[in-house]
Amino acid sequence: MQTSANPSLSKSNVQKITPKQPVRVRRPSREEALEAVRTLIRWAGDDPDREGLLGTPDRVVRSYQEFFSGYDDDPVALLQRTFEETDGYDEIVLLKDIRFESHCEHHIAPIIGKVHIAYLPSNRVVGISKLARLVEVYAKRLQIQEKMTAQIANTLDEVLQPKGVAVVIEAAHQCMTTRGVHKPGVAMVTSRMLGVFRTDPLSRREVLSMIGTPAAGSTQNV
């Protein structure tokens, strides 16, 4: 694995964004949430008291508890347990095609796609299930794809302090496929590269080749 000798591309010149915890807000009571759903049903033009809709507010509230469970989890704490016994392994660790379901913070419409996470260990590795769980923590929040890409990469970089981190996300946004411009079949691709994957072109090409994404040459770097 080669590293760049160009001082203008040193890691110190790369903007680092420290992952932030979501702002804690007062959660309404369950009854307030149920009444909010009833209000939206009436606003849509239907009667929340008719037979087919009587159970809908409860189902929606329970769905929201699942959709947005990531607000209850600490992504940094999730990665605290790491392992040093790697027998000198110093090549890329990659977990591909991690499926996720999130919701657009602008329309609360589904975002469905997959995440590829890679890192080049320094002296510690983390269990691969934790990488998938890290994706879930951030996906189960109101999101935009660009921010989610950065959050996953920055958290992994902060906790493991590896030589490099690469995160690529490919996803379809139903806020533009089922409403608005109505353009189905469109995928958005974002990436965040840190460490050697940002400063060293050879390392960057290697990790993108391992990911194998068709859009590898045209990702939006966050």
CATH 3.40.1160.10 assigned to domain 78-215? The reply is no
| Residue pLDDT, tens place only, 119-166 | 999 988 999 999 999 999 999 999 999 999 999 999 999 999 999 999
User: What is the predicted pLDDT for the residue at 220?
Assistant: 53
Mean pLDDT over the full length of the chain = 88
Residue 219 reports pLDDT greater than 50: no
- For the segment 88-117, what is each residue's pLDDT rounded down to a tens digit? 888 999 999 999 999 999 999 999 999 999
Active site residue ranges: 104-107, 145, 173, 175
pLDDT at residue 19, rounded to an integer: 53
Domain extent listing, the chain: 30-67, 78-215
Burial of residue 4, with CB atoms counted within 10 A of its CB: 0-12 exposed, 13-18 middle, 19 or more buried: middle
